[in-house]
Chain A
């Protein structure tokens, strides 16, 4: 569940193999800390936790990508509660966030999320992982293909690989460059949370790419911007009429 350089990783889970736990707990040090209560909302206006909470609230209320994902998850029986399923924490390295399948919680790295647009993308990315966890038997910890598939989908559908974002990363390319970006970012995301070689990660992505790149659920299309996301949300809300009349 990672993307780079806004790298995201999976949190540790009970029963996880030692090497994965070693990688994950280095990225999310507070995940394993006991008795580490979340900072309350009473901190000063300028703490990173406060900013994270405010940005998260704005994302949940206004972003069309996220609103569709929340609706789809509710429809699948996984209604999302902001206080239960999101956590703003400090993270090591360049990580922006992660999905912890062991606690069904999305971790947002308050020290690495730069602005509202970044928050929108991180939340969308992690909610795609959460959506996959909700609708399918995803073996996050021992099946590399499953992890690779979810990372391909998240990179593809969250806007991570939009033309503008790639240009800002100084990755210039046009014809089918989106697919190159998705492969690369999915590979980097896997490497962030698994102690494996780049070759192994790349092979896992290649194996599942054809299937997972074309899995557009719940959007039904690749949402290139908010207009596409709004259209996708409209279609989702219309699905009863749609399927009863074809």
Chain B
């Protein structure tokens, strides 16, 4: 009876240790996007979107718009690289492609957020947005 008790205890302890290790592994991977679970990760945009952006960027019309706004020619190479990475990931689930795409998109987000805002952002919409107009309220 004592041996049976020890066996049961060992099984439960072993069961607990295995599950704890699995949870720890998942938490560790979640903290490292480059190690994200491949079955859940997908490119931030569909590959067709990268192709469309690259095609638009290379168009004569976009060259004209970009020169009109910024006074220089547009840089389209990164869209081409992202399209290649996207296709690479779709075909081979390449970790390098995943890393490259994440890095590229994070750089885009950083570039968009680098300016300091003139105003403070709201936590909730204006309280009077949905209120009736003053004359409607009087009626």
Contacts and interface: CB of A to CB of B under 8 A. Distances in A.
Interface of A: 34-37, 76-79, 84, 103-105, 132-139, 145-146, 149, 163, 174-179, 208, 210-212, 214-216, 220, 222, 224, 227-228, 231, 234-235, 238, 241-243, 245-246
A246 B105 contact: yes
A245 B39 CA distance: 12
A245 B129 contact: no
A235 B125 CA distance: 23
B129 A137 contact: no
Given A34-B135, A242-B45, A246-B106, A211 B116 contact: yes
A137 B44 contact: no
Contact of A234 (B33, B49, B125, B129): B49
B71 interface: yes
A83 B72 CA distance: 44
B119 interface: yes
Given A77-B125, A163-B64, A245-B41, A211 B69 contact: no
A137 B128 contact: no
A149 B101 CA distance: 33
6 closest cross-chain pairs (CB), A and B? A77-B125, A176-B71, A224-B65, A178-B69, A136-B119, A149-B118
27 contacts: A36-B135, A77-B125, A78-B125, A79-B130, A84-B130, A84-B132, A134-B125, A136-B117, A136-B119, A136-B122, A137-B120, A137-B122, A175-B67, A176-B69, A176-B70, A178-B68, A178-B69, A211-B116, A214-B114, A222-B65, A227-B56, A235-B49, A238-B49, A241-B45, A242-B44, A242-B105, A246-B106
